[in-house]
Amino acid sequence: MAKAGYAVRTSSAVALSAGNAKTALMVICPAQFGVDLKKFRVSFDGTTATAVPALIELVTSTNATNSTPGTNNTSETGNIVQLYGRSITTGFTAFSASTSEPTVLTVVEGFLLTPTGGTLFYDFPLGDTPDTAVSTGIGLRINAPAVVNVRASMTFERC
């Protein structure tokens, strides 16, 4: 099958409240194909040197509730860009800055990163990329102990 790659990013900084988990960015698959996540980026704008690290979680979602772009979140569907492959209608949708968390979320991986200007560039090794089923989502949920802003992006292929 010919590959087609896409990227999506938060259109603005996502404000995190102290101690409250928030889905910063989520890609939702259509009924025809899933997502094969290739890489993601997370960066904070914190300036306090003693800030406690934030928990970043890579999650999947069943999209049972609170997963419609623009409802209890910011629609990022217009920010999905095709990077390579045959040009077709993407079919994907995306959102950021959830004010009400989507369900049902399953944590794939979790790690800590300093919010003091912390930046993470992570490219999954070839053959180790997480993927999703059709009509589901994959995203980044972040819980920072202090008020801070975050930006995020994901690069993915159809699978």
For residue 133, the tally of other CB atoms under 10 A from its CB is 12
pTM of the model: 0.93
The one-letter amino acid at 61: S
| pLDDT confidence of residue 159 | 87
Q: Which residues pair with 142 in a beta bridge?
A: 22, 56
pLDDT in tens, the chain (159 residues): 568 999 999 999 999 998 899 999 999 999 999 999 999 999 999 888 888 999 999 999 998 888 888 888 999 999 999 999 988 888 999 999 999 888 889 999 999 999 988 898 999 998 999 999 999 999 999 999 989 999 999 999 998
Beta bridge partners of 157: 5, 36
H-state helical runs in the chain:
none
Residue with tokens 């900084």: 13
* CATH code, residues 4-158: 2.60.120
Hey, how many other C-beta atoms are within 10 angstroms of the C-beta on 29? Answer: 23
The pair of three-digit structure tokens given for residue 102, joined into one six-digit string:
């989507």
Residue 6 to residue 55: CA distance in whole angstroms: 26
Spans of all domains in the chain: 4-158
Q: Are strands 119-123 and 93-96 parallel, antiparallel or unpaired?
A: unpaired
